Amino acid sequence: MGKNNHRPSETLEQSLPRLRRFASTAIGSVELGDECVHSAVSDAIALVANRSFPEREAFIQLLFKLTAQAIGKAISASQADRDWQVIILSELEGFDLASTAKILGIDVTEVVRARREGADPTQFSDIDLIEDALPPERPWKA
């Protein structure tokens, strides 16, 4: 399949573990993280329902952006929370600086500052445990 002809359902399914890990790690709760992912997936489907789906990477970024917005609504995000999200997206999820900034709706200079001064990426030693502890059921699949 060509770059613009990805299968959104496959892209979504492949992205769910990353979205859940991002949300659960950013919030500190698997249940609240799953609620944020459910909200983000519902919003993404509504946004693209009557249009052609964006390219695969743009769709993935949209999913992460909507998840970050849901996280912001679930908790009153402080600067430390935003810095932590920057670290999770750039270090753990592998997004480049520009993509991280776009997902979070901030300037690239803020991403650079957060990576330099923000949360400590060495705290990732237990993140795989969070992902392994995620329940196998998918609350967004009715």
pLDDT over 60 at 129, yes or no: no
What is d(CA 29, CA 23) in angstroms, rounded to the nearest whole number? 8
Name the 3-class secondary structure at 120.
Answer: coil
Closest to 138 measured CA to CA, from 33, 1, 2:
33
Report pLDDT for 139: 42
- The mean pLDDT of 87-93, rounded to a whole number, is 87
In this prediction, residue 24 has a pLDDT band, given cuts at 50, 70 and 90, of confident
- The mean pLDDT of 112-126, rounded to a whole number, is 70
In this prediction, residue 2 has a pLDDT band, given cuts at 50, 70 and 90, of very low
In this prediction, residue 52 has a pLDDT band, given cuts at 50, 70 and 90, of low
Q: What percent of the chain has pLDDT over 90?
A: 9
In this prediction, residue 112 has a pLDDT band, given cuts at 50, 70 and 90, of very high
What is d(CA 63, CA 24) in angstroms, rounded to the nearest whole number? 15
Report pLDDT for 138: 39
Report pLDDT for 6: 60
Please report, to the nearest 10 degrees, the dihedral formed by the alpha carbons of residues 85, 61, 112, 69 taken in order. Answer: -40
* Average pLDDT value over all residues in the chain: 76
pLDDT over 90 at 109, yes or no: yes
